[in-house]
């Protein structure tokens, strides 16, 4: 299967409500290269992360890019959620784009 960048996937569409990514360790590369176009077209991101350092780097990238955190569960974390206690293997980041969703 050919490799396609996140930027290439997103650019043709003026508005995307949700991007859900699970790219097995390539989260930082995919997001950092696509951040300018994501900020103008994507309302919500749901990202599975694969490593604690990678989770922190992606979180910082989204925060510094003006996104709003909705959910942040770390890699291999045990967390009390609204659905009970959950043990996460992958990290989970869910963020909203206030530029497209308002405040």
CA dihedral 68, 71, 74, 80 (to 10 degrees): 150
Give the residue numbers spanning the domain of 62. Answer: 6-98
Is 47 part of any domain? yes
Give pLDDT, residue 92. Answer: 93
pLDDT at 103: 66
Please tell me the predicted confidence (pLDDT) of residue 82.
84
- Burial level of 17, CB count in 10 A (0-12/13-18/19+)? exposed
Report the number of distinct structural domains present in the chain: 1
pLDDT of residue 26: 87
Q: Which residues of the chain have pLDDT under 70?
A: 103
The CATH number that applies at residue 83 is 3.40.50.150
**Model-level pTM?**
0.88
């Amino acid at each position: 299967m050919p490799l396609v960048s996140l930027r290439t996937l997103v650019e043709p569409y003026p508005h995307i409500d949700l991007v859900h990514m699970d790219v097995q360790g390539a989260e930082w590369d995919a997001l950092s290269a696509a951040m300018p176009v994501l900020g103008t077209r994507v309302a919500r991101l749901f990202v599975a992360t694969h490593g604690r350092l990678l989770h922190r780097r992606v979180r910082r990238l989204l925060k510094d890019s003006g996104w709003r955190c909705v959910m942040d569960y770390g890699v291999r974390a045990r967390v009390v959620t609204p659905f009970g206690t959950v043990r996460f293997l992958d990290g989970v980041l869910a963020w909203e784009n206030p530029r497209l969703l308002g405040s």
